[in-house]
Amino acid sequence: MDDVAIIGAGLAGLTCGLALQRAGYAVIWLDKSRGLGGRLATRRLHNTRVDHGVRYWAPSHPKLRSLSQQLVEQGVLQPWPVQRYQQQQGRLVPQPLAQPVYSAELGLNAIAKALAAQAEPQADGFYRQHRAIALQQTDAWQITCETPEGSRQLSARAVVMALPAPQILPLLADQVAQPQLAALRAVDYAPSLSLMAGFSHRLDLNAEAWMIEPARSSPIDWIGLDSSKRGADAPPALVLQSRADFAALYLDAPDLQTAVPPLLQAAQQVLSDFSIPTWWQIHRWRYAFVQRAYPAAAMTFDDRPLVCCGDWCQAPDSAWRNLDAAYASGIAAAEAVCHLISVAP
């Protein structure tokens, strides 16, 4: 039996697990996907890679800034010389960047892979395509997982749930008290749709790398020249991410392709040389951006060896959001687990 099972191998889960391993605990990670990284999501399409979750890497947390430098030295990250534009009264107006911005030639998922490479043992610690479907506490935690080969049960002394709050709810519905379930239900997210699109011609905007924040009237929240992260020979590719109100109209649509024409039409109102792409793929991002957070860096349940973490856990006095919040929450969860295991009978 392992000391700690972490359900979810995004930035919060990886951060938590690595901190626990450094403290001497045996850790396993379970993730429903074939890969790792959560919103550090990269897809291989048409002889290229496209980041369809996190747009770029621009942390503020001092520890993540230190990690950025390490990843630059390892060749995982590169400074992204991107020009930021805002659409104002029909014109694209250059804007300054608030902080250094990084990209990864192999996609931002390479950050998650670099973190996972620090885990010990690498071969046995990650259970991919393991969707946790039930949780029960006996002498230890029993975790029932759905895998391609069928049902599988794993056990651990402590559990960390590093998932979006709505995905935690069904697992804890009969395990924790109503006030704690209500706190999970109160967490709110803004959804988005990510449209990845390839082109036969360059879209330069007088800059080798660019991103645009369209006017508020547009259904598009952000457009980025994703191919500028891949090197000079990469085929042109854009990522368009929608606003939450537009995404809500299509989030449960049986055919998500119906959202593509209005997004392409909206892009034509932003980019003068925009044309119909040669290929595209659209992705539902249901839990894109936290709108209402849980007011602590991690969620604990009295003295039970159970902790929840993620970017949705944000202490009221904290400045951390998004990736910074995920990292800070992962560290807080690791500290909580260390305490809970130490006081366990």
Q: What would the pLDDT profile of 2-40 be if each residue is shown by its tens digit?
A: 999 999 999 999 999 999 999 999 999 999 999 999 999
* CA dihedral (233, 98, 273, 222) positive or negative: positive
| pLDDT computed for residue 122 by the predictor | 59
Give the pLDDT band (50/70/90) at residue 120. confident
Confidence of residue 274 (pLDDT cuts 50, 70, 90): confident
Residue 299 contacts residue 307 (beta carbons within 8 Å): yes
- What pLDDT, on a 0 to 100 scale, did the predictor assign at position 121? 72
Q: What is the mean pLDDT of the segment spanning 85-106?
A: 96
For every residue of 65-106, DSSP letters joined together read HHHHHHHHHTTS-EE--PEEEEEETTEEEEE--SS--EE-TT
> Which value, in Å, is the radius of gyration of the alpha carbons in the chain?
21
In the chain, the percentage of residues whose pLDDT exceeds 90 is 91
Q: Which of 111, 143, 115 is nearest to 130 (CA)?
A: 143
pLDDT greater than 90 at residue 79: yes
If one counts every other C-beta atom within 10 angstroms of the C-beta of residue 254, the result is 5
**E strands, 243-331, where?**
279-292, 299-300, 306-308
Q: How far apart are CA 74 and CA 105, in angstroms?
A: 12
Predicted confidence (pLDDT) at residue 316 exceeds the cutoff of 80: yes
Q: What average pLDDT is seen over the chain?
A: 96
- Residue 335: CATH number of its domain: 3.50.50.60
Give the residue-averaged pLDDT of 204-230: 95
* pLDDT for the residue 11: 98
Q: What span, in angstroms and rounded, lies between the C-alpha atoms of 80 and 238?
A: 15
Provide CB contacts within 8 A for 82, sequence distance 6+: 56, 97, 101, 103, 207, 209, 210, 211, 224, 228
- Owning domain of residue 54: 2-343
Average pLDDT over residues 91-118: 97
Q: Give 170-191 pLDDT, tens digit per residue.
A: 999 999 999 999 999 999 999 9
Could you tell me if residue 135 is left (phi over 0), alpha (psi between -120 and 50 degrees) or otherwise beta? Answer: beta
pLDDT at 123: 59
Of 59, 317, 27, 254, whose CA–CA distance to 154 is shortest?
27
pLDDT at 345 over 90: no
Say what the pLDDT of residue 275 is.
87
Give the residue among 57, 61, 56 at the shortest CA–CA distance from 319. Answer: 61
The number of folded domains in the chain is 1
Res 254 pLDDT > 80? yes
The structure tokens listed for 335 are 């500290």
298-322 mean pLDDT: 95
d(CA 3, CA 22): 13
pTM of the model: 0.96
Segment 194-217 shows an average pLDDT of 92
Residue 328 pLDDT > 70: yes
Average pLDDT (267-284) is 94
**Lowest mean pLDDT across 77-86, 107-116, 123-132, 321-330:** 123-132
Phi then psi for 43, rounded to 5 degrees? -120, 140
